């Protein structure tokens, strides 16, 4: 599990998209809030809200087997095939 890294401790080594905690002052938030932000050329694209801490994005979910992942035909044509009773037009 990733942990929050305060920007006072260190910054990301690579450009990319990260999960960040903003101070929330510019957005009118009363408390810090989490979102995503891009880090490029050693700086945050923070639009005025200060980044307080960051963490890498998690790796994408990967199904363990094909039972969790429908075939493209079932996924794309599923409702159509159900409504047409499987008959070809």
- 67 belongs to a structural domain: no
- 24 belongs to a structural domain: yes
- 7 belongs to a structural domain: yes
pLDDT of residue 83: 60
| Residues spanned by the domain of 46 | 1-58
* Residue 19 exposed, middle or buried by CB count within 10 Å (0-12, 13-18, 19+): middle
* Residue 22 exposed, middle or buried by CB count within 10 Å (0-12, 13-18, 19+): buried
One digit per residue, the tens of pLDDT, for the chain of length 89 reads 579 999 999 999 999 999 999 887 766 677 888 889 999 998 888 765 689 999 999 988 887 776 666 666 666 666 665 665 555 54
pLDDT of residue 20: 94
Tally of structural domains, the chain:
1
- 22 belongs to a structural domain: yes
- 73 belongs to a structural domain: no
Give, in order, the Cα–Cα distances in Å from 5 to each of 20, 52, 67, 82.
9, 9, 37, 49
- 20 belongs to a structural domain: yes
pTM for this entry: 0.62
Residue with tokens 């960051």: 54
């Amino acid at each position: 599990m990733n942990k929050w890294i305060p920007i006072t401790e260190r910054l990301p080594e690579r450009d990319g998209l990260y999960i960040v905690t903003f101070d929330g002052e510019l957005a009118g938030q009363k408390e810090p809030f989490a979102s995503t932000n891009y880090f490029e050329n050693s700086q945050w694209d923070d639009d005025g809200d200060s980044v307080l801490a960051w963490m890498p994005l998690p790796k994408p979910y990967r199904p363990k087997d094909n039972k969790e992942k429908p075939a493209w035909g079932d996924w794309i044509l599923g409702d159509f095939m159900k409504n047409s009773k499987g008959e070809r037009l």
